[in-house]
Chain A
Amino acid sequence: SQKIEQNSEALNIQEGKTATLTCNYTNYSPAYLQWYRQDPGRGPVFLLLIRENEKEKRKERLKVTFDTTLKQSLFHITASQPADSATYLCARDSNYQLIWGAGTKLIIKP
């Protein structure tokens, strides 16, 4: 079955540094991957979508890459700020649904 794996350990980053989160998938390459942000007690909020034929996508301080050889997507936040602290979820397509990773908690320390 298809799975999405994200690092379950919290990631602690110093303010101003680049935070990099990893999303690994199994089996065949998805047509696209989506990244969401989730704050405590709230629903996820969509951030970026990257398609299989795209190597990289950017949005302001966010950058997502898609490596079909490694079966991996990396999510980068440059010049990180304490307000970026949240849980970040990765999801892949599967028969018009999404399969979700468990998320990685990011903590940006001042």
Chain B
Amino acid sequence: DVKVTQSSRYLVKRTGEKVFLECVQDMDHENMFWYRQDPGLGLRLIYFSYDVKMKEKGDIPEGYSVSREKKERFSLILESASTNQTSMYLCASSVAGGSNEQFFGPGTRLTVL
């Protein structure tokens, strides 16, 4: 079974802090994605990566950066957390190609105070 793990289920940070969210997948998937999910808005893509050291901006990249130094790991960084970044963050992975299903981690509920 594909397993996608995220470093924390719940996280509370203060405004201005630097926040790291880690995601690891164990199925050798080429593609990895970071989404945020807010009530009524659905999943919104922040960044994705289709290969090691490659990254592409999604729909809402402002205030975020990413790092993919190894194929299995994709990190999301909030350089200076703000209250409007309070959200559920979901990581996903998939094999190369456009139509393949995405496998999701359990999510990280981030609260910025």
When the two chains form the complex, which single residue of B48, B101, B107 contacts A43, counting CB atoms closer than 8 Å?
A: B107
**Given the complex of chains A and B, what is the CA–CA distance between A42 and B48 in angstroms?**
20
Q: Is the CB of B92 within 8 A of A43?
A: yes
Query: Please, which residues of chain B bring their CB within 8 A of the CB of A100?
Result: 42-44
**Given the complex of chains A and B, what is the CA–CA distance between A23 and B40 in angstroms?**
15
**Given the complex of chains A and B, what is the CA–CA distance between A90 and B59 in angstroms?**
18
Contact size class for B? 20 to 34
Within A77-110, the residues touching B (CB, 8 Å) are: 89, 91, 93, 95-98, 100-103
A-side interface residues toward B, CB under 8 Å?
4, 8, 31-32, 34, 41-46, 49, 51, 89, 91, 93, 95-98, 100-103
* Contacts between the two chains (Cβ within 8 Å), count: 53
- A to B CB contacts below 8 Å, 29 in the list: A8-B40, A32-B99, A34-B101, A41-B106, A41-B109, A43-B4, A43-B90, A43-B104, A44-B43, A44-B90, A44-B102, A44-B104, A45-B104, A46-B103, A89-B42, A89-B43, A91-B43, A96-B97, A96-B98, A97-B45, A97-B48, A98-B102, A100-B42, A100-B44, A101-B42, A102-B40, A102-B41, A102-B42, A103-B42
